[in-house]
């Protein structure tokens, strides 16, 4: 495994990490999820991503049970949670100070840990002043409940405002952002965030490197019955296929075949090629997929700049 600094911090995160979005509970039972986490950890993965919204908190419970069962020592792994969608009541949604504190404490209980390494604001909250959100995150750092805080899918303008307020009020600045990034979804990482990378060395833990499986090529001829696109509550993923450029996906597949690697591996290596990517979060519905995707780190040298440019 290769490791990269998380932005301007000194924390070294594995270049490939493992996340639980969609798969945990919905597609993976405890036995399979345990095997996946154990394999990833033994291959050098040290960052495991989660959120209060994933399977309505059940994903965090499952991950916490697995970590306890595998008896990992707390200084060998990194776990995250995200706050925004905690329930249906007004006090369970958004980034007000109360919900941030409640969500953090709930994540600690579910994951059976004393602190979270990374805590993300899962989306921007237009109804809560950014300064209130920053103070809440700063409090959690001071209390030792989180180590680093960051954002997910915030605009560059919103992140810039957060940095300015942190400096004005002498509060902890965000360390990382978690945006979607893949061959089909590029603008935010490659254009909008460029000033943030240059000014603040913002770290990124990118999600959906395979565009929810589209870049594997398995949807070129339709949707398999056990696909995440058929998981209840994720219909919006299926709807997103309507505007997909399958010609591009098939061309990526052709390049992968010429290189004698899988299309998934090529898509992951393409993400890793971006120096502003701290970690690529992998998702897998079985151990075979995970092994294939983790192998990407060992063949990254096979892909030169000409191939990246061609893609």
Q: How far apart are CA 20 and CA 140, in angstroms?
A: 24
Q: How far apart are CA 15 and CA 3, in angstroms?
A: 5
115 is catalytic: no
Burial 118-128 (b: 16+ CB within 10 A, else e): bbbbbbbbeeb
Catalytic residue among 3, 41, 54, 200: 54
Tell me which residues are annotated as active site: 54
């Amino acid at each position: 495994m290769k490791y990269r600094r998380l932005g301007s911090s000194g924390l070294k995160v594995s270049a490939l990490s493992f996340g639980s979005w969609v798969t945990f509970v919905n597609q993976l039972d405890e036995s399979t999820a345990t095997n996946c986490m154990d394999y990833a950890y033994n291959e050098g993965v040290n960052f495991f991503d989660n959120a209060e919204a994933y399977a309505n908190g059940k994903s965090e419970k499952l991950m916490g049970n697995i970590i306890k069962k595998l008896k990992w020592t707390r200084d060998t792994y990194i776990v995250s949670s995200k706050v925004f969608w905690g329930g249906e009541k007004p006090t369970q949604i958004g980034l007000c100070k109360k919900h941030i504190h409640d969500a953090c404490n709930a994540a600690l209980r579910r994951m059976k840990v004393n602190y979270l390494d990374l805590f993300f604001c899962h989306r921007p909250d237009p109804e809560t002043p950014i300064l209130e959100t920053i103070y809440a995150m700063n409090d959690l750092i001071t209390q030792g409940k989180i180590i680093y805080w960051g954002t997910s899918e915030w605009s560059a303008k919103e992140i810039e405002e957060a940095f300015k307020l942190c400096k004005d009020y002498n509060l902890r600045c965000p360390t990382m952002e978690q945006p979607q990034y893949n061959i089909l979804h590029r603008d935010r990482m490659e254009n909008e965030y460029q000033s943030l990378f240059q000014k603040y060395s913002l770290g990124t833990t990118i999600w959906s490197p395979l565009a929810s499986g589209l870049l594997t090529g398995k949807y070129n001829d339709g949707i398999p019955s056990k696909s995440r696109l058929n998981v209840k509550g994720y219909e919006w993923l299926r709807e997103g296929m309507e505007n997909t450029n399958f010609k591009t996906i098939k061309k990526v597949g052709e390049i992968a075949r010429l290189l004698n690697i899988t299309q998934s591996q090529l898509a992951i290596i393409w993400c890793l090629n971006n120096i502003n990517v701290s970690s690529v979060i992998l998702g897998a519905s079985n151990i075979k997929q995970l092994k294939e995707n983790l192998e990407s780190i060992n063949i990254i040298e096979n892909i030169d700049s000409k191939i990246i440019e061609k893609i």
